[in-house]
């Protein structure tokens, strides 16, 4: 009997009368693995080997918890995506890195459990992405690679050019999913730690740079990422600090 009373006492320490309804603001940071599905080497005639690619995202969040279990959220994120490559041919070592810098506006529905200091969270929605800049680093044996080739749509261009913003579309639309845990510091302050998955529906290559491969075929390129999203948030209107 004493053991049972002790068990209930411990569980009671982790129980909250969570009143999380209300306006929420916060900030987030997300290290991620980024991919470009189907690479475009703009007529180079080769497909390089993929290298595990790591980028980051950070920004602010804002939303409204309609209940203790459900809320609608948006925000403004600064997100770097892209892909790293490497290859070995023509007695040389090749490295190529493409970085796509986006601003993103999430539109998310989020669900969470209640009743403990650590609860399940899940979310689904879309990311509206706007490309601000696209950069490329293309190296041959550690040195900048430069080659002039022809694009049927635009004429001659430098293959290894560093600023390649014009070669990509200026927007993308992602489906976004997340699963993880919410850690409560109080009824107003909490930390979300969640795996975040994103896939872009749009072909990221501008129509003038959708160049076919040696087989005369073109495969559209898509953004994709998976990251660990850490978001610290505070309920500024609504909620209470009561516990039992």
pTM tops 0.85: yes
Residue 17 has pLDDT above 80, yes or no: no
- Please give the Cα distance from 187 to 173 (Å, whole number): 34
State how far the Cα of 160 lies from the Cα of 197, in Å rounded to an integer.
31
The answer to whether residue 16 scores a pLDDT higher than 80 is: no
Question: Cβ(132)–Cβ(113) under 8 Å?
Answer: no
45 Cβ contact list (under 8 Å, min separation 6): 213, 214
List Cα–Cα distances, 225 to 26, 32, 37, 81, 189, in angstroms.
22, 7, 10, 8, 28
- On whether the CB atoms of residues 147 and 156 are closer than 8 A, the answer is no
Please give the pLDDT value at position 172: 98
Cα–Cα separations (whole angstroms), residue 3 to 9, 10, 11, 12, 132: 10, 11, 12, 14, 61
Q: What is the pLDDT of residue 238?
A: 67
pLDDT tens for 179-203 read 999 999 988 999 999 999 999 999 9
Taken in order of first residue, the domains within the chain and their CATH numbers are 2-237 (2.40.160.20)
What is the four-CA torsion angle of 221, 227, 232, 238, rounded to 10 degrees? 60
pLDDT in tens, 64-112: 999 888 999 999 999 999 999 999 999 999 999 999 999 999 999 999 9
């Amino acid at each position: 009997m004493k053991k049972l009373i002790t068990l209930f006492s411990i569980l009671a320490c982790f129980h909250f009368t969570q009143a999380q309804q209300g306006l929420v603001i916060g900030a987030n940071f997300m290290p991620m693995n980024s991919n470009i599905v189907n690479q475009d080497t703009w007529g180079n005639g080769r497909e390089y080997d993929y290298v595990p690619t790591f980028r980051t995202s950070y920004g602010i969040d804002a939303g409204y918890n309609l209940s203790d279990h459900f809320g609608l959220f948006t925000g403004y994120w600064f997100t770097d995506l892209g892909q790293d490559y490497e290859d070995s041919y023509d007695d040389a070592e090749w490295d190529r890195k493409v970085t796509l810098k986006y601003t993103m506006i999430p539109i998310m529905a989020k669900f969470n459990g209640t009743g403990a200091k650590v609860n399940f969270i899940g979310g689904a929605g879309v990311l509206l992405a706007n490309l601000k800049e696209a950069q490329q680093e293309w190296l041959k044996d550690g040195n900048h690679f430069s080659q002039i080739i022809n694009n049927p749509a635009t004429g001659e261009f430098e293959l290894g050019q560093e600023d390649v913003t014009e070669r990509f579309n200026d927007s993308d639309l992602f489906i976004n999913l997340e699963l993880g845990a919410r850690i409560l510091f109080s009824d107003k302050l909490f930390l979300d730690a969640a795996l975040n998955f994103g896939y872009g529906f749009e072909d990221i290559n501008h129509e003038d740079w959708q160049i076919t491969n040696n087989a005369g075929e073109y495969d559209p390129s898509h953004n994709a990422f998976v990251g660990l999203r850490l978001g610290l948030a505070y309920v500024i209107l609504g909620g209470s600090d009561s516990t039992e």
